[in-house]
Structure 1
């Protein structure tokens, strides 16, 4: 109550910030005439002046008003675009490390130039992050004219670029690129062969465009660099033949072999299914006689079986993926784009390949991985902009420490958001959609139809074709024509079907895109410009008179934010526009998450076929369902981050050690310390400290010394010949022998060669051990949820075991490095070079750069006993340690050890 009272008196935090920034806008406006009076050279010279003043200690805040005035004037001269006052506020919000929510069409691309230039003149590097290569290249070229006029350098990072081009781009003051490429370049740099192979430099300031898409929608799965693992394609084929024989359970406790949880995208074998699957696996020779599906040795079999079940039950062709050129290509639910090159992890992609009968590609092993949460938290300062962030404000604050500020529009928004129309069946809904499209076409109003899947877009396209209605389809199958289709979607009577946010980042201009039409003119057609402009003006007026662009949604998405993004395609910059969603009780959201009250209300009203509910109460009920889903997905991302933070801390340690090794020319001191530790740890095993000589195991020590260091030491003979030898002096003698042998080897090949060898060996061992550790972490994470059955906290258990595993990694790096250096025989520097060539080949060859799709497989919110289902390539089980049972095996018909009195199979052993 007091909060509401204080807000009435003092205004909300957003209003107070806007008021404060408005005073700065007044200062910028007061400088406009003075800055406009400068000639081009005088304006460009401002950059050197700002750099000098910043170097003399003037703060960015002191420079801000003049800097923004200079950027505004430069934009006017180079692009004929002048920053509106609200765009200046947006620039301030970004510079302060906040998220600016600005409506579609308010010029977010231009806003980014203000904080980018201010950061650059103060000595920082700016990474502007976009969602795809097209936008990165477009914005770098478009906004680059401002920066280049002012003497700054601009680079662009796109996929497929060679390392030298990327290195040059990253050396620029301001860099444009995609979130994926920034992430992969970070991982590649930390796998680099040498310092000269790295491409990135400092990470001062990131400005993330479409920040909600990158930091929320794509935050549930990591970026992964992987290499080939063991081939198990035959297993996928055999299990794929078994799945169709299993029967789906449609009612709880009803007959069937497996149940499907569509809400959480999971499948579960029933008791009957467990027996049926075992029988079929026995028959196919995949399971040995007398063994159970859930024996420790059959864990990978269970994994493959569940992957195949999910592939058949939860993933649909032309909805979650398409088959193109005999390959499975994932479809992004949020954009409708093909995610070429991306693969689902945990064997799911191979299971889908087996299901569709296309060639099965080898499974991969993770070599490096990072989530977007942890990637962007590496930057000294982070900010972002989008048209829809306020619904996720809590998540931005809790995960990234980013405050969301809602920026007012430059012109009042007059878009008419009409209440949802809810029908009983999908056929009734599509009939109504057809009528709605025909109504708009008759009055020459352009329509953008938003669909949630390719399947829906093509089904609707078929309906329109049968009705003789001309239209364009924009989905993952036609992404090559994306910019052209979107550019003309605002023409009178144009009908465009788009999967969700396909074409995001490109404005739909009423009357069509004039700039694109003019750009298509040849040199001999310049005289036609006036005529084209006049035609566009007529078309623009016709569309405005018809009511502007009408956005028609064919179903609600799980997130209100995605719905708002679709609505935001119309009503830009004060243009008229309208939006409406058409729903049915058979839609996924309504069927899985929908309010039963809506269904009950339709029943009570006794609605006839084709009749719809249209009421704000219904719209509110649906939005409440969406809020529940959003909350569940937020909990999932938050829990995943808590798990990933464990790996992130380990990643930082490994990468820091690796970078330090790469930057050092001489690591002999590091090797020397490691050697002393290895020798003493080995002696401790056989000669425990403060033990009696009779308790020493000298023969085993001699054997281990020879195995570890390649040296034959007659330790028993030393002890027999010298009574004065005791534990400490014996340690010293063994260590001096090991050091002496190594120094002799070093003297034989030369100082330079041995130093080079030490560095090459340690880096190679570190990379190998880290790769294997990532595989083990994957397996640990996949099984950690089972600890809940033992009344243990999975999260705490994961942290504890991950720490123990990481400690072992550091020990293995030390031991293996010393072992190799002690036993390796090097004659010439050419042999060391060959070792380096092998490491370079290993680090560069056969790699895949993956960002598994976060959206086609929504993850369940995690309870205290659950484990996060991170989509990561499955790795070979050969690198992992066998599971060791913590207590006696419990039979399925025995009493459950939890004390409930139930049989184990009906309690904690329930499948």
Structure 2
């Protein structure tokens, strides 16, 4: 009660913060008359003036008022749009590394120009991150005109760019891109062999558009770059043979989760069998050295006992093909991940295809936390404010609207079943359509969109159905969703980033209707005609009540519901929103038979009858909060596990960068050699032990394997007062002498290049194997909870131990290779090249289920666009090597794991990208 009174008198903390920014806005406004008097050349020269002031010691905050005023004036001249005062507040919030929550239609794209211009003046690079390629291209072209006027360079990153084009785009003052492209470029850069091959610059500042979608919705699935692994078919077959002999009392099945685990007695028996077969490296099944074997064992158990032939899969043409559990259709080209598909192949005795192994991965949380300053903007962030602060240390600031919101948000209507609900929805849409009121319908899935479409066809209502697959085409449809009598059905993401303007969008209508008309009086007259039609139509829509937003179901996140509602009532327009719910909706069904909803089902609610109440809406909001909390915990768990790997990732990537930047790495190589020798001697001759306890033969053998040298260690041990340090020194001296002889005999410059090449290659190889082991460990460490242990702590400890082991192995491997290398023919060696990077596959893999969960940000719109231009072309495409190919996409850079651009639904490698094509 007291808080309510205090807020009413003094305003909320958000209100007070926004009000405090008004003083800076007043400074900006005071400069406007002065800048209006500038010529275009004088206005553009402001950028050089600001750079000179920064060089003299001024800060960005010092020049902010004049810089913002410059952008506002340039926008008026170039774009015909003047920033409102609330947009200036939004720009300040973005510059300060905070999240600006601004309602739909408040001009977030224009707001971003303020912060991006100010921060780009330093020349360190600014990234503007969007949710899809269409928006990246659109914003770069649209807002790029303003920035170019002020003397800044603009770059845009979209799929199918080559490395030179990407490097040029990243070197621009402001770069527009999607989150996926940025993340994958970062991972690929840290797999390059030379600094000159890298495309990105050091991170500086990023503005994330639709920040809730990118940093919250997509944050559960890390970015993964993978490649084919070594052939492990013998291991799969060996373990499969063992698993098929297990009696039922050795394991317990969980049919619901499709999981299976060994009992205590079963574990003991399995250990004995695996030791006997020579498959374990120690006598304890759960030792860290046996992590890979445990992982394969668990997948084999699932394959043999949980996955049924002709139910979960079929065997056709010597291949295991997954059957979709919902449709019963074959899913040719799809494979289970984490080795499960290979385990089923071993079970059925067909050819075992190599699994894809993680070569590099990172979560969006850890990627975006690398920016020294990160900001974002969206229409809906307040509900996730706690998560933004906990994970990213970003504060959410609610920016007031330029004009008060007039939209009416009605109570939810509640029906007994889906059939009744959709009948009521179709009837409501028909009624609104008859009076000309435009309707935007939000659905949670493509399936629900198609179902509603059938109901509308029965009612005879013309409509458009969108499903967030082709962003550019759908943006044009969504932009016109405010026209008289328009009915548009859209899934959650369809057309996001596009304003719905009542009466129609002038820019999109010009593009759609006048794209073929040349410049001239005729085109000008046509534009004026369209303007008049839009003004007349807007008035008719206003009289009909504005845009009616209809939600067919409550989403599990209130934020998504608010996004849909926010499409109506932009810039003070009237509007209406209403949600239709039923007991069969996912959100209501999840919250069990003993809840309010089930009791209502048993009441006297008649078929087709609707009820609505604030109490019911409050209960649904409570359910949404529970789901949001659960989803937050899942995302938090993902980032907690990735934080462990992130510390190791930073070490490896920093080491790679140092190696690439160094002309010579001889000091690193020498240190590695000495550390490897010290470790080998230390293991065989532990401190505090007696010479008769030392493993002399083992040490002699290991030194021979690693260094290729033989030492009379038995004689040294017989000497008086011999110490391990003396043995270490003698071995180091001899190894150093051998290497010095090699350097004296061969070209020293050539040797330095060889050392650098070997060091990078072995570092990458060991890191790749380490990631595979961590993947396997991540899958099985949850079982430690049964032993009353905290899985995350166990993961941290074992990951650290594995990392130390990896570094030890790296030192030995690098030392061994360099000790053995002999240059036979030095003539062609100066032209030696590092190996090409492999053919990467990119995607989002859910770390909990192991299933691919990629969104549509993979360039499918771009591929569809390319297909449209190629499909009508009579000529064949030129394939690799200049040969003519039957594959129309042969000249394009398309990931082999991506959907084929022809629209068949198959992966590219199984369609036009097949080897035989």
The answer to whether the Cα contact below 8 Å between 1:312 and 1:352 also exists between their aligned partners in 2 is: no
Deviation digits for residues 554-590 of structure 1, max 9, x if unmatched? 1111100011111111111111211111111011111
Structure 2: gaps of 5 or more residues: 238-251, 267-278, 280-284, 286-292, 314-321, 854-917
Whole-Å separation in 2 of the counterparts to 1:429 and 1:233 = 53
Equivalence map 1:471-510=2 (5 Å): 471-476=463-468, 481-510=473-502
Whole-Å separation in 1 of the counterparts to 2:832 and 2:309 = 44
Whole-Å separation in 2 of the counterparts to 1:651 and 1:765 = 16
Does residue 138 of the first structure (1) align with residue 138 of the second (2)?
A: yes
Does residue 173 of the first structure (1) align with residue 173 of the second (2)?
A: yes
Whole-Å separation in 1 of the counterparts to 2:340 and 2:130 = 29
Cα separation, partners in 2 of 1:112 and 1:501, compared to 1, 3 Å:
same
Choose from 441, 445, 462 the match for 1:453.
445
Whole-Å separation in 2 of the counterparts to 1:620 and 1:830 = 79
TM-fit CA distance, 1:475: 1.2
TM-fit CA distance, 1:73: 0.3
SS in 1 for 2:489: strand
Whole-Å separation in 2 of the counterparts to 1:352 and 1:43 = 68
TM-fit CA distance, 1:698: 3.9
Choose from 845, 848, 857 the match for 2:838.
845
Whole-Å separation in 2 of the counterparts to 1:76 and 1:353 = 65
Cα separation, partners in 2 of 1:434 and 1:122, compared to 1, 3 Å:
same
Equivalent position of 1:435 in the other structure = 427
SS in 2 for 1:496: strand
Cα separation, partners in 2 of 1:816 and 1:90, compared to 1, 3 Å:
same
The answer to whether the Cα contact below 8 Å between 2:303 and 2:344 also exists between their aligned partners in 1 is: no
TM-fit CA distance, 1:169: 0.8
Equivalent position of 1:632 in the other structure = 630
Whole-Å separation in 1 of the counterparts to 2:6 and 2:464 = 52
Choose from 566, 569, 573 the match for 1:568.
566
The answer to whether the Cα contact below 8 Å between 1:318 and 1:455 also exists between their aligned partners in 2 is: no
SS in 2 for 1:680: helix
Equivalent position of 2:812 in the other structure = 815
Does residue 375 of the first structure (1) align with residue 367 of the second (2)?
A: yes
Equivalent position of 2:415 in the other structure = 423
The answer to whether the Cα contact below 8 Å between 1:102 and 1:386 also exists between their aligned partners in 2 is: yes
SS in 2 for 1:491: coil
TM-fit CA distance, 1:165: 0.6
TM-fit CA distance, 1:723: 7.4
SS in 1 for 2:578: strand
Moved more, 735-744 or 79-88: 735-744
Equivalent position of 1:608 in the other structure = 606
Equivalent position of 2:530 in the other structure = 532
TM-fit CA distance, 1:544: 1.4
SS in 2 for 1:415: strand
Whole-Å separation in 1 of the counterparts to 2:260 and 2:573 = 54
Does residue 584 of the first structure (1) align with residue 619 of the second (2)?
A: no
Whole-Å separation in 1 of the counterparts to 2:428 and 2:343 = 41
The answer to whether the Cα contact below 8 Å between 2:468 and 2:474 also exists between their aligned partners in 1 is: no
- Which structure is higher in RCO with an 8 Å CA cutoff and minimum separation 6? 1
Equivalent position of 2:641 in the other structure = 643
Cα separation, partners in 2 of 1:712 and 1:347, compared to 1, 3 Å:
closer
Equivalent position of 1:246 in the other structure = none
SS in 2 for 1:112: helix
Cα separation, partners in 2 of 1:98 and 1:719, compared to 1, 3 Å:
closer
Whole-Å separation in 2 of the counterparts to 1:212 and 1:310 = 42
TM-fit CA distance, 1:526: 3.4
Equivalent position of 2:671 in the other structure = 673
Whole-Å separation in 1 of the counterparts to 2:508 and 2:705 = 72
TM-fit CA distance, 1:525: 3.5
Whole-Å separation in 2 of the counterparts to 1:632 and 1:847 = 33
The answer to whether the Cα contact below 8 Å between 2:109 and 2:139 also exists between their aligned partners in 1 is: yes
SS in 2 for 1:38: coil
Whole-Å separation in 2 of the counterparts to 1:300 and 1:679 = 39
The answer to whether the Cα contact below 8 Å between 2:125 and 2:204 also exists between their aligned partners in 1 is: yes
Equivalent position of 2:378 in the other structure = 386
Cα separation, partners in 2 of 1:694 and 1:781, compared to 1, 3 Å:
closer
Q: When the two structures are superposed, what TM-score results if normalisation uses the length of structure 2?
A: 0.81
Residues matched between the structures, number:
796
Equivalent position of 1:514 in the other structure = 506
Whole-Å separation in 1 of the counterparts to 2:766 and 2:306 = 28
TM-fit CA distance, 1:730: 4.1
Equivalent position of 1:278 in the other structure = none
Deviation digits for residues 406-455 of structure 1, max 9, x if unmatched? 00111111111111111111111111011011111111111111111111
Does residue 740 of the first structure (1) align with residue 737 of the second (2)?
A: yes
Equivalent position of 1:301 in the other structure = 300
Whole-Å separation in 2 of the counterparts to 1:322 and 1:478 = 27
The answer to whether the Cα contact below 8 Å between 1:110 and 1:143 also exists between their aligned partners in 2 is: yes
Equivalent position of 2:40 in the other structure = 40
TM-fit CA distance, 1:161: 1.1
SS in 1 for 2:366: helix
Whole-Å separation in 2 of the counterparts to 1:142 and 1:25 = 25
Moved more, 546-555 or 484-493: 484-493
Whole-Å separation in 2 of the counterparts to 1:388 and 1:117 = 25
TM-fit CA distance, 1:715: 4.2
Whole-Å separation in 1 of the counterparts to 2:399 and 2:112 = 14
Whole-Å separation in 1 of the counterparts to 2:568 and 2:342 = 41
Whole-Å separation in 2 of the counterparts to 1:489 and 1:726 = 84
Equivalent position of 2:389 in the other structure = 397
Moved more, 482-491 or 520-529: 520-529
SS in 1 for 2:406: coil
Cα separation, partners in 2 of 1:817 and 1:31, compared to 1, 3 Å:
same
Cα separation, partners in 2 of 1:109 and 1:309, compared to 1, 3 Å:
farther
Does residue 782 of the first structure (1) align with residue 790 of the second (2)?
A: no
Deviation digits for residues 130-172 of structure 1, max 9, x if unmatched? 0111101110111111111111111111122111011111111
TM-fit CA distance, 1:830: 6.3
The answer to whether the Cα contact below 8 Å between 1:557 and 1:589 also exists between their aligned partners in 2 is: yes
Whole-Å separation in 2 of the counterparts to 1:491 and 1:203 = 43
Whole-Å separation in 2 of the counterparts to 1:486 and 1:361 = 44
Choose from 798, 803, 816 the match for 1:801.
798
Choose from 590, 597, 600 the match for 1:599.
597
Equivalent position of 2:147 in the other structure = 147
Whole-Å separation in 2 of the counterparts to 1:161 and 1:668 = 37
Cα separation, partners in 2 of 1:161 and 1:2, compared to 1, 3 Å:
same
The answer to whether the Cα contact below 8 Å between 1:267 and 1:306 also exists between their aligned partners in 2 is: no
Cα separation, partners in 2 of 1:5 and 1:173, compared to 1, 3 Å:
same
Whole-Å separation in 1 of the counterparts to 2:686 and 2:149 = 73
Equivalent position of 1:766 in the other structure = 763
Cα separation, partners in 2 of 1:151 and 1:308, compared to 1, 3 Å:
farther
Whole-Å separation in 2 of the counterparts to 1:744 and 1:311 = 66
TM-fit CA distance, 1:827: 2.5
The answer to whether the Cα contact below 8 Å between 1:180 and 1:851 also exists between their aligned partners in 2 is: no
Cα separation, partners in 2 of 1:71 and 1:308, compared to 1, 3 Å:
farther
Cα separation, partners in 2 of 1:54 and 1:606, compared to 1, 3 Å:
same
Equivalent position of 1:85 in the other structure = 85
Equivalence map 1:114-263=2 (5 Å): 114-229=114-229, 259-260=255-256
Whole-Å separation in 2 of the counterparts to 1:765 and 1:735 = 22
Structure 1: gaps of 5 or more residues: 238-255, 261-265, 276-287, 329-342, 860-867, 874-911
Equivalent position of 1:22 in the other structure = 22
Choose from 659, 662, 665 the match for 1:664.
662
TM-fit CA distance, 1:484: 2.5
Cα separation, partners in 2 of 1:528 and 1:742, compared to 1, 3 Å:
same
TM-fit CA distance, 1:5: 5.9
The answer to whether the Cα contact below 8 Å between 2:468 and 2:493 also exists between their aligned partners in 1 is: no
SS in 2 for 1:506: coil
Equivalence map 1:283-362=2 (5 Å): 298-304=297-303, 345-346=337-338
Equivalent position of 1:74 in the other structure = 74
SS in 2 for 1:128: strand
Deviation digits for residues 15-42 of structure 1, max 9, x if unmatched? 1111111111111111111111101011
